[in-house]
Amino acid sequence: MSKLELKNINTTVNVGTNEEKRILKDINLTLDDGDFVTLLGTNGAGKSTLLNIINGSLKPTSGEVLLDDENLTNESEVKRAKYIAQVFQDPKMGTAPRMTVAENLLLATKRGQRRGLRLRKLDKHMPEFSRETSQLPNGLNERLNTFVGNLSGGQRQTLSFLMATIKRPKLLLLDEHTAALDPNTSRSLLELTDDVVKKQKLTCIMITHQLADALKYGNRTIILNSGQIILDVKGKERDKLSEDDILQYFAD
């Protein structure tokens, strides 16, 4: 069970200054177990802010965040990491560049646990890491002992995705995780994402700017505009939508 509930979420930044701005406005949203949401919206619509409210890096001005009926509103980002994994747009985020691929993966297996300063029992995990990476694109299985800072952007982002899912999270957040990659690498990672989310039956929110991807992947599409949900469709209603239908929601 991985039910996410956002109740009356409002977010205002730069309060009391000339730059005060209300970003999210009375957001009410429920994700059921296994929902794979593609999230669309113009720049400044509040997409990344919404993910930041969920992951705990930003506190809402008002409202509540619940996961499996547990109120996380006042929990820190670190504590939420036990349940919530995220892959960012920048391939340099989410990994430790001065550690090897295998060392990064070992850290990922300990998400949500207390960790000492030294990594232990790396050798016993190497067969597992070899199996996991052999199923991935970009030849990552041949780079287990390579420092992450020496990987290509595509390899690093693939590693970030594996780190986010190697220990099944209750909720997976993808913030335009293929946007910085070349088209072929982006497609490979999207196909990998779709396969892993389906196989693990993950609850997932994926921000994208690509209309075709928003309709191809997942089972539900949400559009944000000026901090409000203006479309939330799934099932047969979503299947009927075309890219032109979606474009109408972006018209001035």
Does a structural domain hold residue 103?
no
Checking if the pLDDT of 143 tops 50, the result is yes
Range of the domain at 211: 4-97+152-250
Does a structural domain hold residue 116?
no
Does a structural domain hold residue 111?
no
- CA 103 – CA 145 distance, rounded (Å): 8
Q: Is 54 exposed, middle or buried (0-12, 13-18, 19+ CB in 10 A)?
A: buried
Q: Supply the Cα-derived Rg of the chain in whole angstroms.
A: 19
Residue pair 53/33 in contact (Cβ under 8 Å)? The answer is: no
Does a structural domain hold residue 110?
no
Does a structural domain hold residue 235?
yes
pLDDT tens column, 33-92: 999 999 999 888 999 999 999 999 999 999 999 999 999 999 999 999 999 999 999 988
Q: How confident is the model at residue 26 (pLDDT cuts 50, 70, 90)?
A: very high
pLDDT tens column, 106-133: 999 887 666 554 556 788 889 999 999 9
pLDDT tens column, 230-249: 999 999 999 999 999 999 98
Quick one: pLDDT at residue 138? Answer: 82
Does a structural domain hold residue 173?
yes
- For residue 72, the domain's CATH number is 3.40.50.300
Cα–Cα distances in angstroms (integers) from residue 86 to residues 14, 76, 124, 180, in the given order: 26, 15, 26, 16
Structural domains in the chain (count): 1
pTM score: 0.93
- Looking at every residue in the chain, the average pLDDT score rounds to 91
Does a structural domain hold residue 122?
no
Quick one: pLDDT at residue 19? Answer: 85
Quick one: pLDDT at residue 117? Answer: 47
- CA 7 – CA 128 distance, rounded (Å): 40
Q: HEC string of the chain?
A: CCCEEEEEEEEEECCCCCCCEEEEEEEEEEECCCCEEEEEECCCCCHHHHHHHHHCCCCCCEEEEEECCEECCCCCHHHHCCCEEEECCCCCCCCCCCCEHHHHHHHHHCCCCCCCCCCCCHHHHHHHHHHHHHCCCCCHHHCCCCEHHHCCHHHHHHHHHHHHHCCCCCEEEEECCCCCCCHHHHHHHHHHHHHHHHHHCCCEEEECCCHHHHHHCCCEEEEEECCEEEEEEEHHHHHCCCHHHHHHHHCC
Does a structural domain hold residue 119?
no
